[in-house]
A and B are shown apart, each in its own frame.
Chain A
Amino acid sequence: MLKIHIERCKGCGICVAFCPKKVLAVNEIEKVEIVNEQDCIKCGQCETRCPDYAIFVEK
């Protein structure tokens, strides 16, 4: 499923904005968080545009 390297995440929110299923959120410490993994369709939008190599879709 989704794999997050939290130490690389800078909380820019790009993955959140491009996720078509609202699976992701940026939390109060400005890190990405999976809030709704069951809706993930593995489209890879988050991985494709993450500038920090912090999120990967495991297929």
Chain B
Amino acid sequence: MNMEEMIDKYFRPGRLPHIWCPGCGNGIVTGCIVKAVAKLDLPKDNVAVVSGIGCSSRASGYLDFNTVHSAHGRALPVATGVKLADPNLNVIVVTGDGDATAIGGNHLIHAARRNIDMTVVLYNNNIYGMTGGQYSPLTPEHSKAATAPYGTIERSFDIAELVKAAGATFVARATTFHAPMLADLIAQGIEHKGFSLIEAVTACPISFGRQNKMGGPADMIKWQRDHALPLAAFEKLSEEQKAGKFPIGVLYKAEGVKEYTEAYDELIAAAQGGK
């Protein structure tokens, strides 16, 4: 299936063009989700996409699956309910950096801790885009934002390290420059039985790029190209050389950790056996 056929198949008819600004990377990331679903040939009826609130969370409305555009920060609890109530569904969570790591931060660590089988695609554009460019927990330190006119003095999360520490069993990162890799990582995340998170580094030219003089959409994608390194290459760098760079690819994968809904089936069997 070529890309045009994928878009025709997995996007709801008549919903394009989408609402995202010119040059916004969210469309690239959403295209990668579609490529991953196509690669795995998942039946559309068996896929549930749950999003929160924010620019990226509007993706759910375009996709021809069982979709929920939930409340700000709450995609993961809703997704947890969907998955636990019907483990046959492939659950993909679409969320942004503010949605997932600020207002929804508590849910993120607990979903990771449970190792519940779902794939979180975290669109990291380093900013609250929809509300006009306020800083998020993933805004790099010293970056400017509508609520940080002097540059933010807050350190940002390394979200991959955070969810790994919380118990996620598949953690990966790619950028919109590396779109084919991103699609492949999302597919790996979906195939992985357990909680997976793929951080998709994506450009917000209007609300982040402008304030931080990063140039136009293409310049921001070139920035991704120039600052991302495959994990193996990144690890070979000295601490000095690592500054400003970030690793991409599969960053962490744990095997043999019990998945939550499987553990729940065992609990039910035990409870019923003990009747």
Contact call B20/A51, Cβ cutoff below 8 A: yes
Contact call B4/A13, Cβ cutoff below 8 A: no
Distance in Å from the Cβ of B25 to the closest Cβ of chain A?
Answer: 6
| Chain B contact patch, size range | 20 to 34
B residues in contact (CB < 8 Å) with A:
2-4, 7, 11, 16-18, 20-28, 31, 176-177, 179-180, 205, 216-219, 221-222
Distance in Å from the Cβ of A32 to the closest Cβ of chain B?
Answer: 11
Contact call A13/B16, Cβ cutoff below 8 A: no
Q: Which of A7-54 contact B (CB under 8 A)?
A: 7-8, 10-14, 16-18, 30, 47-54
The complex places the Cα of A8 from the Cα of B62 at a distance, in Å, of 14
The complex places the Cα of A48 from the Cα of B84 at a distance, in Å, of 35
Contact call A13/B218, Cβ cutoff below 8 A: yes
Partner of B221, one of A10, A14, A52, A56: A14
Distance in Å from the Cβ of B80 to the closest Cβ of chain A?
Answer: 30
Contacting residues, chain B, for A48 (C-beta < 8 A)? 28, 179-180
Given contacts A10-B23, A11-B22, A13-B218, contact A49 B177 (CB under 8 A): yes
Contact call A53/B27, Cβ cutoff below 8 A: yes
Contact call A49/B23, Cβ cutoff below 8 A: no
Contacting residues, chain B, for A10 (C-beta < 8 A)? 17, 21-23
The complex places the Cα of A59 from the Cα of B2 at a distance, in Å, of 9
Partner of B23, one of A5, A7, A13: A13
Contacting residues, chain A, for B205 (C-beta < 8 A)? 12
The complex places the Cα of A53 from the Cα of B32 at a distance, in Å, of 11
Contact call A7/B17, Cβ cutoff below 8 A: yes
The complex places the Cα of A55 from the Cα of B66 at a distance, in Å, of 27
Contacting residues, chain B, for A50 (C-beta < 8 A)? 27-28
The complex places the Cα of A12 from the Cα of B7 at a distance, in Å, of 20
Given contacts A53-B16, A53-B31, contact A12 B2 (CB under 8 A): no
Contacting residues, chain B, for A58 (C-beta < 8 A)? 2, 4
**CB nearest neighbor in B for A5:** B16
The complex places the Cα of A17 from the Cα of B20 at a distance, in Å, of 20
The complex places the Cα of A30 from the Cα of B23 at a distance, in Å, of 12
Extra contacts besides A14-B218, A59-B2 (13): CB < 8 Å = A3-B4, A5-B16, A12-B22, A18-B218, A30-B22, A48-B179, A49-B28, A49-B177, A49-B221, A51-B23, A51-B26, A51-B176, A53-B31
